[in-house]
Amino acid sequence: MIEKRRRRKKLVNQVTDAFLFWIFQLLQGPKNLDILPAANTYVQIRALAWPTVLVGWVAQSASLGMKDSWGPLKALAVASAVNGIGDIVLCIFLGYGIAGAAWATMVSQVVAAYMMIEALNKKGYNGFTFSVPSWNEVLTILGLAAPLFVMMISRVAFWALVTYFATSLGTNVVAAHQVMIQSYGMCSVWGQPLSQTAQSFMPELIYGINRNLSKARILLSSLVIIGATLGLTVIQEMHKVLIPYFIALSVSPGTHSLDGALLVCLV
């Protein structure tokens, strides 16, 4: 019996590895096969926290629905600290490389999910209980989640397609693509508070006891105007630093080489 379980586990691991290898080959392209082992290791470690990430998202949505933003904020702060400390210890001091970064991120996600569930428990909800939803509840969930699921899948497919075209152009282009993705993420972070505001107040104004559609329209218009204003402000500020950004990118490689030479001279 134990031997059969081992064989099944080995077969599942082989099938999973083969599927991941095929996906990575498709996304990374034939010019970047040298980074395939590192990517495979990173994804397999991060996947361990995926169920916890889903639970954390649900708990965060529940907290925002109750107008509680402090619980998710505390969880994010602690998770960021755990991630940063883990990266320093595992990558710099212990030398685990990309595997250490993956383990640090995975642990931080587990900690964040646990803290979000604890935030719900403090409000009188038992977040650690399990219950099987009824068929009507499943239909209600599907009705709410299906449009969002299609939207998220379309978004992920678009970014995957962009990444695929970037990886087909070589390692340098992939690195530049990742840098620009991170820059875009930093500049678009202003949209998250607006999204959380809508999640917190819109349900009550549209479906709650104190239903008020006029206030819901005013809130929606305000959020759209604030979002557009912030977007234009970010574009304006990015144009101001465009030349310094270009100079910094141009000078940085040469500066790093001088740093290396200086360190050699000091030794």
Q: Which residue has the higher pLDDT, 82 or 251?
A: 82
Q: Which two tokens stand for residue 216?
A: 């819901």
Residue 264 above 50 pLDDT? no
- pLDDT of 237 reads 75
Structure tokens at 43: 């994804």
Query: Of 36-45, 165-174, 223-232, which gets the smallest average pLDDT?
Result: 165-174
Q: State the chain's mean pLDDT as an integer.
A: 80
Choice among 31-40, 223-232, 256-265 with the minimum mean pLDDT: 256-265
Higher pLDDT, 182 or 77: 77
Q: What is the pLDDT of residue 103?
A: 95
pTM: 0.69
Q: Which residue do the tokens 């000091």 mark? A: 266
Alpha carbon distances (Å) from 140 to 91, 135, 146: 45, 9, 10
Nearest CA-CA partner of 174 in 30, 50, 42:
30
Pick 179 or 116 by higher pLDDT. Answer: 116
**57-66, 197-206, 242-251: which range is least confident on average?**
242-251
- Residue 114, pLDDT > 50, answer yes
Which residue would you say has higher pLDDT here, 220 or 112? Answer: 112
Rounded mean pLDDT, 187-204: 77
Task: Work out the number of other CB atoms within 10 angstroms of the CB of residue 27.
Answer: 17
